């Protein structure tokens, strides 16, 4: 603790921060541009000038940059000193000299940091009378719009893109007052975090291109706190809606999860909500096999008829549906009839991951901790494609060594320029063992490539080396042992080693090996952490409810035991092969699909009922660390987009109300009667927690619907929401009453609480003087730190130590390649592999054509060239793809990107063959 004097007022502050951070944390409005809380100081823009006085007798003082000054005990500064005020206004005047006066047509207008800072400094009149500088803009692909005339050269974009996110294709060119921030030439920004430029840029140079196609000002957006559905990390987001269209996604700061950033899949995957492929009304299959739209009432009655007495009904849940939806489905069909919605490979790996997360030994690292671990070992997981934002956090971890070096030189950590320059070559350690190249290879200390079985063996070798570590190093001739020893040494020397693994490879043995590494580290007295990557946004939530796999569901279906099959938010064709899925759908007498988007499964169902997507529903997801996170409905409710769980409750209600009591199966009747008593999200959560006491966090993770601040709900619409009375003028002359939200403490109105609600229900960041995303500063107790009013305590599934982790099976045999056959392993694409985001046109544009990865030497043997058309056959399944040479892939392997459009689901890893030319089906 230290005392500083700002304009002769004393404040108690923490030391170790830059003066700018200190001032902002005190709530003082010091303007800035080049500084960013996640990227710290470089001293470029000179906007945060304050006056520093030597002591209390010093009356002249000296202008210093707050971002480049240390916070020192007893220091005296002035923000209001006339000279420094004039200097700050002059810096703005310099910046505005070339800035166009195009705010009314600029997408940033109304939430522009440059606007805010200009007003804050009081600069109003421009004296610059010479022509303004202009630039050519570039087409940067489907995500980011480029308008460089607005640039104020704060250098944040290149610092983020290159230094923070590891991108290469955005840079700064030119010199003096002709500085150009862009690509070498027009073209898509390649880095998967490019969308953050939209929030990083303090003005309108980089804006959201997807939002541009249905643009709405910040003040006209209805927003609610939400959670990203496109991977298992569960980044916190703020989706914005107007006129029933989802307009954009913005980051919602969560200190422990995503911090300040999102990946492009999370930011731009939302357009699936607006697509024509959305299910807007129920569909019924008629006798002829065709489909007809029907009223909800009619569809519900058809469903009721199908369910009959309620016996022989099974349900398949979904890892992309909320915990509440899965729970209600489970109660609807009965726990013994409820099945997991993962593929069998994902089920096996994810079940093990859930056990590991629950055991909490070692603990799971938050992303905040991931970024601060000082040694990393990634085993078998292509994190950059399966959990991109985790890759961004991992990328920061290598700086711990850099900090250790610069700490020695007394370079303050906030001096990012100094730290990066001095410590550029002191990074790591960071070890990757995967079967294909990853986008983290550039920061890796070592990279090990091998077939999945050999990765498991490599992990075991590292575990062994850790155990042997105490003994004298056995000099080994074996390359793998030498590599394993290096990994082991680095993990042992670290204070906070981190082991990353996941479900991506489909290999349980890799996870067991990773676990062995952590156990041996713990046995040696180390405190390792883990970061496991399950496949979907609610994989751990779904598996917390069920013990039965989809394979068991198939067995039941094959045994002709099932009358009706209820599938909620799941496309069986993505978790079962075509043959299995068709068989399952044929076997069930009646198939009911609940989904927000039309899928192959919904197309085969007898009854299809539309439900709300994440933007039209509330619920809870459990992320990779076991963190329960509530998301809230953003769009106003409509009958066709009701919450999936509510749809099920409604059906139960109708059946109970309308059916002859005697006609129902007893257990079904009791289940449905109980469900019919539930009305709100809170009711479901209460029931869920009663059934699963270990999931108490689901209840604690957000305030209940009854929560009020000063008697008010939190307003989803900002105070400056315009057009309220005229929005529906084409339909009615009345202003309709806002819908009531019984599920959350938020309302669909601009009337309500607009201050700083608990972190879990912050619908937007906005503060006086601060209209841009930078207003987040005002919501944090300490700038860069957690949000004020954060619910105390960890929101993690309570560790259940009694849950044993299954014994590791014996290590797999070392991989040996076969002649004429290849081991096909799954690959993932950030843009393309995930089901929902790929429905978003801009993401689809970035997804690759179906391909098969093959090592150049294997390709040579087969006389295949890059781009050649080939057919990969796995059993009966033939996939037509293009050849992509991948020098990192081990010989004997083929890499098939799972989930890409036009690549059918196959169980991987599996042995297959490859032949030139398109598949027979396609040829015919």
Residue 148 found at the interface with other proteins (CB under 8 A)? no
Residue 130 found at the interface with other proteins (CB under 8 A)? yes
| Binding-site member from 190, 361, 426, 891 for other proteins (CB under 8 A) | 426
How far is residue 112's CA from residue 120's CA, in Å, rounded to a whole number? 12
| Binding-site member from 97, 578, 689, 805 for other proteins (CB under 8 A) | 97
Q: Is the peptide bond before 347 cis (omega within 30 degrees of 0)?
A: no
- Cβ contacts of 768 within 8 Å, gap of 6 or more: none
Residue 176 found at the interface with other proteins (CB under 8 A)? yes
| Binding-site member from 2, 26, 64, 742 for other proteins (CB under 8 A) | 64
**Both tokens of residue 560?**
């002709």
Residue 125 found at the interface with other proteins (CB under 8 A)? no
Instruction: Select from 420-428, 538-546, 687-695, 916-924 the region that touches other proteins (CB under 8 A).
Output: 420-428
How far is residue 5's CA from residue 239's CA, in Å, rounded to a whole number? 41
Residue 406 found at the interface with other proteins (CB under 8 A)? yes
- Cβ contacts of 683 within 8 Å, gap of 6 or more: 677
Instruction: Give the dihedral of Cα atoms 169, 171, 173, 177; nearest 10 deg.
Output: 150
Which of 87, 632 has the CB closer to other proteins?
A: 87
Taking residue 559's Cβ as centre, other Cβ atoms within 10 Å add up to: 9
β-bridge mates for residue 64, sequence order: 50
How far is residue 467's CA from residue 491's CA, in Å, rounded to a whole number? 12
- Cβ contacts of 292 within 8 Å, gap of 6 or more: 283, 284, 286
| Binding-site member from 45, 224, 678, 878 for other proteins (CB under 8 A) | 45
Residue 128 found at the interface with other proteins (CB under 8 A)? yes
Taking residue 660's Cβ as centre, other Cβ atoms within 10 Å add up to: 6
Residue 761 found at the interface with other proteins (CB under 8 A)? no
Instruction: Select from 39-47, 640-648, 769-777, 872-880 the region that touches other proteins (CB under 8 A).
Output: 39-47
Residue 149 found at the interface with other proteins (CB under 8 A)? no
Question: Cβ 497 to other proteins, closest distance in Å?
Answer: 23
- Cβ contacts of 515 within 8 Å, gap of 6 or more: 356, 805, 808
Residue 91 found at the interface with other proteins (CB under 8 A)? yes
β-bridge mates for residue 266, sequence order: none
Instruction: Select from 151-159, 263-271, 273-281, 712-720 the region that touches other proteins (CB under 8 A).
Output: 151-159
Contacts with other proteins, 763-802, as mask; x by CB under 8 A: ----------------------------------------
Residue 403 found at the interface with other proteins (CB under 8 A)? no
Which of 171, 361 has the CB closer to other proteins?
A: 171
Residue 841 found at the interface with other proteins (CB under 8 A)? no
Are the CB atoms for 236 and 253 separated by under 8 Å?
yes
Question: Cβ 135 to other proteins, closest distance in Å?
Answer: 13
| Binding-site member from 422, 480, 524, 742 for other proteins (CB under 8 A) | 422
Which of 62, 818 has the CB closer to other proteins?
A: 62
Give, in order, the Cα–Cα distances in Å from 753 to each of 157, 481, 790.
34, 61, 17
Which of 164, 779 has the CB closer to other proteins?
A: 164
Instruction: Select from 201-209, 351-359, 419-427, 839-847 the region that touches other proteins (CB under 8 A).
Output: 419-427
| Binding-site member from 25, 396, 400, 415 for other proteins (CB under 8 A) | 415
How far is residue 148's CA from residue 197's CA, in Å, rounded to a whole number? 13
Which of 42, 462 has the CB closer to other proteins?
A: 42
The helix (run of H) or strand (run of E) holding residue 65 is: strand 62-65
Residue 153 found at the interface with other proteins (CB under 8 A)? yes
**Sign of the CA dihedral with 919 first, then 921, 922, and 924 last:** positive
Which of 9, 101 has the CB closer to other proteins?
A: 101
Provide the pairing of β-strand 446-449 with 497-502. unpaired
| Binding-site member from 26, 179, 480, 728 for other proteins (CB under 8 A) | 179
Closest CA to 316 of 334, 300, 331, 329: 329
Q: Is the peptide bond before 274 cis (omega within 30 degrees of 0)?
A: no
Instruction: Select from 73-81, 124-132, 360-368, 438-446 the region that touches other proteins (CB under 8 A).
Output: 124-132
Question: Cβ 425 to other proteins, closest distance in Å?
Answer: 5
Residue 174 found at the interface with other proteins (CB under 8 A)? yes
3-class secondary structure, 415: strand
Query: 77's torsion region: left (phi>0), alpha (psi -120 to 50) or beta?
Result: beta
Contacts with other proteins, 459-478, as mask; x by CB under 8 A: --------------------
Contact residues for other proteins (CB under 8 A)?
Answer: 42-47, 49, 62-64, 68, 87, 90-91, 94-95, 97-98, 127-130, 152-153, 155, 172, 174-179, 405-406, 408-412, 415, 417-418, 421-426
């Amino acid at each position: 603790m230290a005392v500083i004097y700002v304009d002769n007022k004393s404040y108690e502050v923490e030391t170790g921060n830059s003066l700018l951070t200190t001032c902002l944390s005190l709530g003082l409005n010091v303007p800035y541009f080049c500084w960013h809380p996640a990227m710290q100081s470089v001293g470029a823009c000179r906007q945060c000038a304050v006056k520093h006085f030597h002591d209390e007798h010093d009356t002249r003082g000296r202008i210093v940059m707050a971002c480049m000054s240390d916070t020192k005990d007893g220091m005296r500064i002035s923000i209001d000193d006339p000279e420094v005020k004039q200097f700050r206004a002059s810096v703005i005047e310099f910046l505005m000299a070339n800035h166009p006066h195009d705010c009314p047509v600029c997408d940033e207008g109304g939430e522009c940091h440059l606007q805010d800072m200009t007003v804050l400094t009081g600069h109003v009149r421009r004296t610059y009378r010479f022509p303004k500088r202009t630039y050519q803009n570039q087409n940067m692909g489907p995500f980011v719009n480029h308008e460089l005339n607005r640039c104020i050269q704060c250098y944040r974009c290149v610092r983020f893109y290159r230094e923070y996110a590891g991108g290469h294709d955005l840079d700064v060119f030119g010199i003096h007052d002709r500085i150009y921030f862009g690509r070498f030439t027009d073209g898509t920004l390649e880095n998967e975090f490019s969308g953050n430029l939209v929030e990083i840029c303090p003005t309108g140079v980089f804006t959201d291109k997807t939002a541009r196609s249905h643009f709405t000002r910040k003040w006209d957006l209805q927003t609610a706190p939400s959670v990203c559905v496109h991977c298992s990390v569960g980044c916190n987001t703020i989706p914005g809606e107007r006129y029933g269209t989802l307009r954009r996604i913005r980051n919602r700061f969560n200190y422990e999860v995503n911090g300040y950033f999102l990946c492009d899949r999370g930011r731009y995957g939302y357009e699936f909500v607006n697509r024509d492929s959305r299910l807007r009304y129920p569909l019924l299959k008629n006798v002829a096999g065709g489909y007809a739209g029907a009223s909800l009432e009619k569809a519900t009655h058809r469903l009721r008829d199908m369910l009959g007495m309620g016996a022989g009904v099974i349900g398949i849940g979904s890892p992309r549906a909320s915990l509440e939806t899965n729970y209600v489905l489970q109660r609807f069909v009965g726990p013994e009839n409820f099945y997991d919605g993962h593929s069998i490979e994902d089920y096996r790996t994810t079940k093990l991951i859930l056990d590991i997360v629950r055991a909490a030994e070692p603990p799971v690292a938050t992303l905040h901790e991931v970024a601060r671990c000082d040694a990393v070992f990634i085993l078998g997981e292509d994190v950059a494609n399966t959990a991109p934002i985790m890759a961004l956090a991992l990328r920061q971890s290598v700086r711990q060594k850099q900090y250790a070096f610069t700490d020695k030189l007394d370079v303050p950590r906030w001096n990012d320029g100094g730290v990066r320059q001095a410590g550029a070559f002191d990074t790591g350690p960071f070890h990757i063992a995967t079967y294909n190249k990853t986008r983290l290879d550039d920061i890796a200390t070592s990279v090990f490539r091998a077939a999945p079985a050999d990765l498991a063996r490599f992990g075991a070798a590292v575990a062994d080396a850790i155990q042997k570590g105490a003994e004298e190093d056995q000099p080994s001739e074996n390359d793998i042992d030498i590599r394993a020893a290096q990994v082991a040494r680095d993990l042992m020397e670290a204070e906070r080693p981190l082991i990353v693994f996941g479900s991506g490879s489909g290999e349980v043995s890799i996870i067991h090996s990773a676990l062995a590494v952590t156990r041996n580290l713990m046995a040696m007295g180390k405190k390792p952490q883990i970061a496991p990557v399950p496949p979907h946004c609610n994989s751990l939530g779904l598996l917390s409810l069920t013990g039965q796999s989809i394979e068991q569901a198939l067995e039941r279906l094959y045994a002709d035991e099932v009358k009706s099959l209820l599938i909620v938010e799941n496309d069986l064709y993505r978790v079962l092969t075509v043959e299995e899925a068709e068989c399952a759908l044929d076997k069930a007498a009646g198939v009911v699909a609940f989904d927000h988007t039309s899928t192959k499964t919904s197309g085969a169902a007898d009854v299809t009922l539309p439900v709300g997507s994440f933007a039209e529903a509330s619920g809870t997801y459990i992320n990779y660390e076991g963190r329960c996170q509530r998301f809230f409905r953003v769009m106003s409710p409509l009958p066709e987009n009701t919450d999936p769980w509510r749809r099920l409750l409604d059906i139960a209600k109708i059946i109970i109300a309308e059916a002859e009591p005697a006609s129902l199966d007893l257990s079904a009747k009791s289940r449905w009667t109980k469900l019919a008593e539930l009305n709100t999200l809170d009711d479901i959560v209460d029931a869920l927690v009663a059934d699963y006491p270990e999931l108490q966090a689901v209840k604690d993770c957000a305030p209940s619907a009854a929560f009020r601040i000063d008697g008010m709900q939190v307003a989803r619409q900002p105070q400056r929401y315009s057009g309220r009375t005229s929005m529906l003028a084409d339909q009615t002359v009345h202003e309709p009453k806002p819908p009531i939200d019984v599920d959350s403490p938020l309302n669909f109105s601009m009337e309500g609480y607009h201050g700083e609600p608990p972190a879990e229900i912050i619908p937007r960041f906005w503060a006086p003087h601060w209209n841009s995303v930078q207003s987040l500063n005002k919501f944090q107790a300490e700038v860069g730190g957690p949000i004020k009013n954060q619910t105390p305590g960890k929101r993690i599934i309570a560790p259940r130590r009694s849950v044993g982790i299954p014994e590791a099976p014996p290590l797999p045999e070392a991989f040996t390649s076969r002649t004429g056959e290849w081991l096909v392993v799954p690959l993932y694409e950030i843009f393309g592999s995930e089901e929902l985001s790929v429905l978003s046109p801009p993401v689809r544009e970035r997804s690759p054509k179906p391909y098969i990865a093959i090592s150049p030497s294997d390709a040579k043997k087969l006389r295949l060239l890059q781009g050649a058309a080939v057919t990969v056959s796995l059993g009966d399944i033939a996939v037509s793809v293009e050849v992509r040479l991948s020098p990192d892939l081990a010989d004997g392997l083929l890499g098939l990107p799972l989930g890409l459009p036009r690549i059918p689901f196959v169980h991987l890893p599996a042995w297959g063959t490859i032949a030139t030319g398109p598949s027979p089906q396609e040829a015919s």
